[in-house]
Structure 1
Amino acid sequence: MKTGAIVYVVGKENLAKNFDMEVALKNLEIDADRVEFVSPGSGHFDIMDAWWSLTARGMKRVVCMIAEIVNGSDLRLTGREIQLCE
Structure 2
Amino acid sequence: MRITSIIAIYLLFWWGCLFLVLPFRLRSSAEPEAHVPGQAESATPRFSVWRTVLWTTVVATVLFALFYVNYVNGWVTADLFDLTRYRAH
TM-score (norm 1): 0.24
Which structure: greater strand fraction?
A: 1
Give the helix-richer structure, 1 or 2.
2
Higher-Rg structure is 2
